[in-house]
Every structure is written in C-alpha cells, then in structure tokens.
C-alpha cells in the first residue's frame, strides 16, 4: 500500500531496525528484511491507540537499545524504531527529535504526512541558512567594492547615505577623481540578489571605471560600459545607473542615465521629474545614451539617488517624496553631512525604528559652498582616503 511504501521510504531507524507490527505483534515490515513474519513482544504501554512511548531495553543480541513505539492511526499497526542506546544518547537533541517525530506519527499525522513535513521543514531550514550565508558573503564582497570615503574638494562638500536592504543589496556607488579636477560620480542598482548581485556590481563597476579612465563624457561612458557588460550578464540581470561628471570650478554637472532617476538640484524649479530615463545597462546590446547638463550654483546641493529612496512609506501609507527631500536639503546652514544625518532620521519615521526601507537606498550629496570663490586655474582636488599613498590608488589619472 501507499502507507507501507511511505514507511519504507521514511527509514527512521539509523543505527538499529525499523518495524511495522500488526495487532498481534507480527512483523509486517523489517528494515533489515530478516524477521518478517516473526513476532515482536510489545510493552503494555505501546497498545494505547492515543500515545506513543520510548523505552530503554535490549535487543535479541543483548545490546542496549532505545525502542520507540507509535500506533499508526486507523490501521491497528504499530511503528517501532530501535536505535543503539549509546549512539542515540550521544546527541540528546537527536534523540528528542526522534521521539517527537514518533509521537507525531502516533497521535497526529499519518506516516506519509510526517515524512513530507519533516522533509519540507529540513529543506526550508537548510535553504534559509544557505541564503543567509550567501548574503553575508555577498555583503562582504560589495562592501570591499565601495569607496572608503568621499573625495574632499575645495569649495565643495560630498557625502553619501547608504542603506542596503538585507534581502536586496543591489546598490553601489563610486567616485573617480581626475587630474584636471573633474570628479566622476557613479551610482547603480542591480536587479539581482546575493552573490549574483555582487558579481553584477563588480562587472558594472569595472566597466564604469574603465570609461572614467578613458575620460569619456557621461553619454559615451554609459554606451562604453553597456557594450562591455552585455556579454557578461546572464538572464534578466541588468543595472540601472547614473554616470555624472562634475566640473568643480564652474559647478557644471553633466550626467547620463541608464534606467535611473536624473540628479536633483535644490533651488532648480525645473528639476522635479522622478521618472526613470534610458535603458538599464546590460539590457540591450548596442544601446546608446545621451547626456544633459545641470549647474550647481553656490549654496545649492545636487543629489544623485537610487529609486529605493522613494519607496519608503509611513504607516499611514504616505510615501517619501520630493517635498520631504526638499525640506531636508533646504534647511539653512545644513552641510552635506547634515543632509545625510537628517535623511537617516527622516527615513526612520517612514520605515519604523529600524529605518529599513523596502529596497536599498543610496543618496550622494554634492554641495557647493555658498561663499565659493571664482574659478582658479590652479584648482586642485584631494581625497580623504588617508590610507592611499599615490594618485592611482584613488582614481587620479
């Protein structure tokens, strides 16, 4: 029967035998196939249809064993599992689990249901542990790909708010300082998770850095990067990305978008569109990208952000929006680091005490000093990455 077959597949006994007995104690099934048809003495407690028991006893050879008895509902049969006592008690938890399983067999579920339940629970637990371990490794890889600190530039403050989501972790950002004082800013979001996301991010970051080293303007930089990553990404993997180039003396910010939201500049009333522009990197071979230019005036901030920022929602359903962002950025006397701190505090009111939005959130804040001096032909930039010893280490070409 299907019940008999399910018991055979269950194979509960590990260091001993498993039996199925009829009402008189006759052995219908023996895992060792040596005693079928013989009789096995049942203790009085094992004849109760409503409970299972486990006792310490000896087998035919006089070995100490633990014998578990569980009546199978609706059949008149009894399931018996014998295990070596020393082996079974070596791991108390294993013994407890075995007894719980047998009790469930005798009082709650038929054998097939228990087998499927155990198998499902174990598989789910192993999958959760594997996913958690994979995510930890992915985070370590992605953390090493992020820059150690934002660059320091005369007349400018640059800071970053970065909040990865435990179940996502697809955001990344990067900076590349050039010898003429220009600063390349890169931000992206991979539509992958775990180790796949780490691989995708590493691939796209390398392609964008290659474009920066070639000193390509933003539109050509994304076109170049897309041509490099398309053969490397598989399946549906792609990356929405912003590539921007800041010319500090003039405040000119050129940028190109690949499936991402355009940068936002405080005080620029014409800059309020949160729609995504362009095709994500890796999505279409041969995609070409245009570029636009914004100007950051003295005292203004430019923000480059991932789409996760506008997915944060209050308990009443209200979404974080441009009005919320504008209130943070336009606070008098607030520097880039203050914008980041205020943003972190504000998001907690939208996402709960843990400050965990439904997706990754990354915001690059680029602030121009209000008292900035006219452009200096000898303009120089440095980096706050003190551990780096030569220009090539932190992106100066």
Q: Are residues 205 and 354 in the same domain?
A: yes
Q: Are residues 187 and 227 in the same domain?
A: yes
Note down the domain range covering 264. 146-394
pLDDT means per 10 residues in the chain (397 residues)? 52 64 82 79 58 71 77 75 70 53 50 55 68 69 80 91 75 91 93 82 92 95 95 88 95 94 80 77 93 93 84 72 78 83 78 60 90 53 36 38
Tokens found for residue 219: 């539109």
237 phi/psi in degrees, rounded to 5:
-65, 135
Q: Are residues 110 and 252 in the same domain?
A: no
* Integer Rg of the chain from CA: 33
| Whole-number Å distance between alpha carbons of 148 and 60 | 70
Q: Are residues 96 and 25 in the same domain?
A: yes
Q: Are residues 336 and 262 in the same domain?
A: yes
Residue 178, in any domain of the structure:
yes
Residue 132, in any domain of the structure:
no
Look up tokens 């076109």; give the residue: 223
User: Which domain CATH number covers 310?
Assistant: 3.60.40.10
Tokens found for residue 166: 């435990």
Overall domain count for the chain: 2
Q: Are residues 229 and 374 in the same domain?
A: yes
Confirm if 53 and 59 have CB atoms less than 8 A apart: no
Last residue of a domain, one of 64, 89, 122: 122
Residue 75, in any domain of the structure:
yes
**Closest C-alpha among 309, 308, 335, 337 to residue 324:** 309
Q: What's residue 2's pLDDT?
A: 52
| Whole-number Å distance between alpha carbons of 134 and 173 | 22
Residue 134, in any domain of the structure:
no
Q: What's residue 235's pLDDT?
A: 81
Q: What's residue 306's pLDDT?
A: 85
Q: Are residues 99 and 156 in the same domain?
A: no
Q: Are residues 109 and 171 in the same domain?
A: no
User: Which domain CATH number covers 15?
Assistant: 3.30.450.20
Question: What is the reported pTM?
Answer: 0.61
Q: Are residues 110 and 153 in the same domain?
A: no
- Residue 174 exposed, middle or buried by CB count within 10 Å (0-12, 13-18, 19+): buried
Residue 226, in any domain of the structure:
yes
Q: What's residue 119's pLDDT?
A: 61
Residue 129, in any domain of the structure:
no
Q: Are residues 113 and 150 in the same domain?
A: no
**Closest C-alpha among 101, 107, 109, 113 to residue 51:** 107
Give 329's Cβ-side CA count (13 Å radius).
Answer: 24
Residue 139, in any domain of the structure:
no
| Whole-number Å distance between alpha carbons of 319 and 276 | 17
Nearby residues of 233 by Cβ (< 8 Å), 6 or more positions away = 200, 203, 282
| Whole-number Å distance between alpha carbons of 257 and 365 | 17
Residue 285, in any domain of the structure:
yes
Q: What's residue 26's pLDDT?
A: 86
Q: Are residues 110 and 197 in the same domain?
A: no
3-state secondary structure the chain: CHHHHHHHHHCCCCCCCEEEECCCCEEEEECCCCCCCCECCCCHHHHCCCCCEEEEEECCCCCEEEEEEEEECCCCEEEEEEEEHHHHHHCHHHHHHHHHHHHHHHHCCCHHHHHHHHHHHHHHHHHHHHHHHHHHHHHHHHHHHCCCCCEEECCEEEEEEEECCCCCCCEEEEEEECCCCCEEEEEEEECCCHHHHHHHHHHHHHHHHHHHHCCCCHHHHHHHHHHHHCCCCCCCCCEEEEEEEEECCCCEEEEEEECEECCEECCCCCCCCCCEECCCECCCCCCCCCCEEEECCCCCEEEEECHHHHHCECCCCCECCHHHHHHHHCCCCCCHHHHHHHHHHHHHHHHCCCCCCCCCEEEEEEEECCCCCCCCCCCCCEECCCCCCCHHHHCCC
Q: Are residues 313 and 253 in the same domain?
A: yes
């Amino acid at each position: 029967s299907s019940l008999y077959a399910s018991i055979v597949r269950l194979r509960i006994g590990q260091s001993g035998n498993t039996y199925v007995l009829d009402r008189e104690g006759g052995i219908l099934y023996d895992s060792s196939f040596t005693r079928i048809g013989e009789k096995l003495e049942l203790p009085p407690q094992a004849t109760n249809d409503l409970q299972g028991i486990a006792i310490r006893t000896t087998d035919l050879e006089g070995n100490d064993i633990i014998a578990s008895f569980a009546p199978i509902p609706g059949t008149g049969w009894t399931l018996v599992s014998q295990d070596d006592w020393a082996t079974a008690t070596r791991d108390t938890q294993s013994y407890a689990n075995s007894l719980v399983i047998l009790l469930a067999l005798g009082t709650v579920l038929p054998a097939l249901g228990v087998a499927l339940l155990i198998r499902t629970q174990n598989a789910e637990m192993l999958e959760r542990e594997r996913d958690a371990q994979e995510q930890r490794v992915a985070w370590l890889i992605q953390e090493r790909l992020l820059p150690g600190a934002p660059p320091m530039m005369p007349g400018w403050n640059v800071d970053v708010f970065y909040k990865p989501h435990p179940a996502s972790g697809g955001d990344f950002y990067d900076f590349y300082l050039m010898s003429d004082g220009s600063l390349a800013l890169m931000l992206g979001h991979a539509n992958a998770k775990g180790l796949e996301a780490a691989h995708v991010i590493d691939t796209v970051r390398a392609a964008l850095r290659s474009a920066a080293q070639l000193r390509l303007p933003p539109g050509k930089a994304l076109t170049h990067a897309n041509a490099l990553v398309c053969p490397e990404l598989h399946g549906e993997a792609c990356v929405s990305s912003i590539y921007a180039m800041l010319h500090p003396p003039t405040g000119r910010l050129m940028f190109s978008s690949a499936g991402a939201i355009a940068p936002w500049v405080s005080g620029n009333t014409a800059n309020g569109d949160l729609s995504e522009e362009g095709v994500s990197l890796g999505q279409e071979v041969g995609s070409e990208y245009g570029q636009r230019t914004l100007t950051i005036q003295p005292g203004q901030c430019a923000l480059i952000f991932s789409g996760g920022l506008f997915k944060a929602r209050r308990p009443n359903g209200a979404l974080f929006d441009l009005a919320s962002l504008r209130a943070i950025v336009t606070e008098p006397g607030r520097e880039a680091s203050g914008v980041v701190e205020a943003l972190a505090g504000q998001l907690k009111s939208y996402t709960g005490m843990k400050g965990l939005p439904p997706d990754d959130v990354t915001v690059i804040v680029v602030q121009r000093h209000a008292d900035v001096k006219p452009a200096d032909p000898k303009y120089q930039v440095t980096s706050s990455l003190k551990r780096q010893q030569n220009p090539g280490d932190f992106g100066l070409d």
